[in-house]
C-alpha cells in the first residue's frame, strides 16, 4: 500500500529523471499541438508534446526549432504506429459519402495512395530532431527504431490501453508506459484497431493493474483534469500524469472557441466514443454529426484512414464556419473541469492542489 507522501516522492523522482519540475505531461495531440501550448506547459515545469501524426518531416523539424526557441524545457515527439493497409470498398464509401453530404455537400475523396503520411520518414525526422523523449500510440515501434532511439539516448514512452499491451511494451524496451484509460479524449490507443471498443478499460482499473504488471514507470492518462485526479493517480501507483482536455480552454491551445466553450457544460456522459471521424475509435463531444453517423441506421465507418479522408472537408469547413456539429471536437470525460485560464496557471494550480491533497 502506497502512502500519500511516498506517492508524491515517487512522482518527484520521475520528474527529476526527466528534467521536469512538475510530473505533469501535456498529451501529444495530433492537430492540437501548437508550440504556444507546449512551451507554456514546459516553461511552467511540466513536459511539452508534439503529436506529429499529420506532419511532414519538415513540419516536425520546424516545430522542434520553434519549441527550442520558446522554452528550455523538456518535450516529447509522438506518432502513431500504422495500421495494416486498409481494404477499399468504393460502394460502401459512397454510402458514407451520402451521409456526410448532409453536413458538407463537397465530400472529400481519399487519395489513391494510403496512408498519405510516411511513417518511416516521420521516424527519421523525429530521430534527427533528437528530443529527450519519443512516444508511440496504436502499437509499438519496430525493434530497429527502438535501437536507434536507445543509441541516441532518447527515451521511449509507449501508450497502452490494457495490461497485456503494457507487458508487450515493457518487453519491447519501452522506458515507461502511458496507461490510457477509456475516459481519455481523442483516439483510443489500442494496438489492434478492432479491439478498441471491446477493451474499454477505465483508469481506476487499468492503472493499478498495469502498475502491478510492469517494472517500468507508469504514466496515467484519461479523464485526469484536476488535483484530485492527479493525487488519485499517484496513489494508484502512477509516476506522472498526461493530460490533454484540461488545457483546451487556455488561450495557448488555440482550439475553436465554440468547442472550448462547450467543455464547461460537458458532463462525462456528454462525450461518446465513435469511429465516425477517422475510422479509429475516439472520444468526442456528443455532437449532431457524431450521434447521427454512429446510429445503427448509418453505414458503418470505413477503416482508418479512409474515414478520416472522407470527413476532411466537413471538419475543415466546420472550423471555418465555427460549426461545432461538423467538428472533430475531441474531449475527455472530465471536460467540465477544464479551466479558462492560461496554460501555465493551469499547471501551477494542478500542482498546488495535488501537493495540498498529498501533503
Ligand atoms: C485532440 C486530441 C488529440 C490526440 N492525439 C493524440 C496523438 O496524436 N497521439 C497520442 O499518443 N495521443 C493522442 N491523444 C490522446 C492523449 O495522448 C491522451 O490519452 C488524452 O488526452 C488523455 O485524456 P484527457 O484528454 O481526458 O486528458 C489525443 C487526445 C486529444 C484530446
DSSP per residue over 15-69, as a string? HHHTT-SS-EEEPP-TT---HHHHHHHHHTTSBEEEE-TT--HHHHHHHHHHHHH
| Residue 6 pLDDT | 96
Query: Which residue's CA is the closest to the ligand 1 atom numbered 7?
Result: 29
Measured at the alpha carbon of residue 91, what is the angle toward residues 90 and 92, in degrees to the nearest 5?
90
The answer, yes or no, to whether residue 115 has pLDDT greater than 80, is no
Give residue 4 CA to ligand 1 midpoint distance, Å.
Answer: 28
Which protein residues touch ligand 1 with a CB less than 6 Å away?
27-30, 32, 51, 53, 78, 137, 159, 180, 183-187, 221-224, 242-246, 330, 332, 334
pTM of the model: 0.98
The CA-atom distances, in angstroms, between 204 and each of 207, 238, 252 are 6, 11, 30
- Helix then strand then coil, % of the chain, to nearest 5: 45, 15, 40
- Residue 279 belongs to a domain with what CATH number? 3.20.20.70
Q: Which of 153, 146, 133, 181 is nearest to 334 (CA)?
A: 181
Give the nearest ligand 1 atom to 223 CA: 26
DSSP 193: G
User: pLDDT-based confidence at 1, cuts 50/70/90?
Assistant: confident
| Residue 213 pLDDT | 98
CA count, 13 A, side-chain hemisphere, 163: 11
Q: Choose between 152 and 112: higher pLDDT.
A: 152
Give residue 331 CA to ligand 1 midpoint distance, Å.
Answer: 9
Query: Which residue's CA is the closest to the ligand 1 atom numbered 11?
Result: 137
Give the nearest ligand 1 atom to 333 CA: 26
Q: Which of 229, 220, 138, 230 is nearest to 180 (CA)?
A: 220
CB 133 within 8 A of CB 74: yes
Give the nearest ligand 1 atom to 159 CA: 11
- What Rg value do the Cα atoms of the chain yield, rounded? 19
With the most atoms of ligand 1 within 8 angstroms of its CB, the residue from 26, 140, 187, 228 to mutate is 187
Give residue 157 CA to ligand 1 midpoint distance, Å.
Answer: 14
Domain count, the chain: 1
- For residue range 305-344, what is the model confidence (pLDDT) as tens digits? 999 999 999 999 999 999 999 999 999 999 999 999 999 9
Instruction: Provide the CA 166 distance to its chain's centre, in angstroms.
Output: 17
Give residue 302 CA to ligand 1 midpoint distance, Å.
Answer: 22
With the most atoms of ligand 1 within 8 angstroms of its CB, the residue from 26, 27, 126, 232 to mutate is 27
**Which burial class, exposed, middle or buried, applies to 179 when counting CB atoms under 10 A from its CB (0-12, 13-18, 19+)?**
buried
Give residue 243 CA to ligand 1 midpoint distance, Å.
Answer: 8
The answer, yes or no, to whether residue 42 has pLDDT greater than 90, is yes
| Residue 117 pLDDT | 73
Averaged pLDDT for residues 202-231:
98
| Residue 36 pLDDT | 98
| Residue 145 pLDDT | 98
Q: Please give the share of the chain, as a percent, with pLDDT higher than 90.
A: 97
Q: Which three cell numbers stand for residue 202?
A: 477505465
Q: Which of 126, 114, 113 is nearest to 64 (CA)?
A: 126
Provide the residue range defining the domain that includes 77: 4-358
3-state secondary structure of 156: strand
| Residue 112 pLDDT | 84
DSSP 345: H
Averaged pLDDT for residues 170-181:
98
Distance CA 130, CA 44 (A): 22
| Residue 114 pLDDT | 78
Distance CA 157, CA 20 (A): 15
Q: What is the mean pLDDT of the chain?
A: 97
| Residue 319 pLDDT | 96
| Residue 228 pLDDT | 98
User: pLDDT-based confidence at 359, cuts 50/70/90?
Assistant: confident
Amino acid at each position: 500500500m502506497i502512502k500519500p507522501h511516498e506517492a508524491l516522492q515517487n512522482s518527484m523522482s520521475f520528474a527529476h529523471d526527466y528534467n521536469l519540475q512538475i510530473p505533469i505531461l501535456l498529451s501529444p495531440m495530433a492537430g492540437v499541438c501548437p508550440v504556444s501550448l507546449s512551451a507554456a506547459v514546459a516553461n511552467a515545469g511540466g513536459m511539452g508534446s508534439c503529436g506529429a501524426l499529420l506532419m511532414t518531416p519538415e513540419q516536425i523539424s520546424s516545430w522542434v526549432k520553434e519549441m527550442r526557441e520558446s522554452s528550455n524545457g523538456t518535450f516529447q515527439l509522438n506518432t502513431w504506429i500504422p495500421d495494416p493497409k486498409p481494404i477499399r470498398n468504393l460502394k460502401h464509401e459512397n454510402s458514407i459519402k451520402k451521409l456526410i453530404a448532409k453536413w458538407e455537400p463537397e465530400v472529400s475523396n481519399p487519395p489513391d495512395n494510403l496512408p498519405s503520411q510516411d511513417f518511416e520518414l516521420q521516424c527519421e525526422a523525429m530521430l534527427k530532431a533528437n528530443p529527450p523523449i519519443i512516444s508511440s500510440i496504436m502499437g509499438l515501434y519496430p525493434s530497429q527504431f527502438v535501437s536507434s532511439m536507445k543509441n541516441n539516448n532518447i527515451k521511449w514512452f509507449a501508450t497502452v490501453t490494457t495490461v497485456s499491451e503494457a507487458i508487450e511494451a515493457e518487453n519491447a524496451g519501452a522506458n515507461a508506459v502511458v496507461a490510457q484509460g477509456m475516459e481519455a479524449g481523442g483516439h483510443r490507443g489500442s494496438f489492434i484497431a478492432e479491439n478498441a471498443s471491446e477493451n474499454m478499460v477505465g483508469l481506476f482499473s487499468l492503472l493499478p493493474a498495469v502498475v502491478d504488471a510492469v517494472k517500468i514507470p507508469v504514466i496515467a492518462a484519461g479523464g485526469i483534469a484536476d488535483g484530485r485526479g492527479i493525487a488519485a493517480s499517484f496513489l494508484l501507483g502512477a509516476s506522472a500524469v498526461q493530460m490533454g482536455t484540461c488545457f483546451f480552454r487556455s488561450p495557448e491551445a488555440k482550439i475553436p472557441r465554440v468547442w472550448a466553450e462547450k467543455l464547461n457544460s460537458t458532463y462525462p456522459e456528454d462525450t461518446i466514443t465513435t469511429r465516425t471521424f477517422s475510422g479509429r475509435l475516439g472520444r468526442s463531444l456528443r455532437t449532431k454529426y457524431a450521434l447521427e453517423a454512429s446510429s445503427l441506421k448509418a453505414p458503418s465507418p470505413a477503416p482508418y484512414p479512409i474515414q478520416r479522408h472522407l470527413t476532411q472537408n466537413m471538419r475543415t469547413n466546420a472550423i471555418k464556419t465555427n460549426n461545432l456539429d461538423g467538428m472533430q471536437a475531441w474531449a475527455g470525460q472530465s471536460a467540465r473541469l477544464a479551466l479558462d485560464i492560461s496554460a501555465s496557471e493551469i499547471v501551477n494550480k494542478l500542482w498546488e492542489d495535488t501537493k495540498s491533497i498529498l501533503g
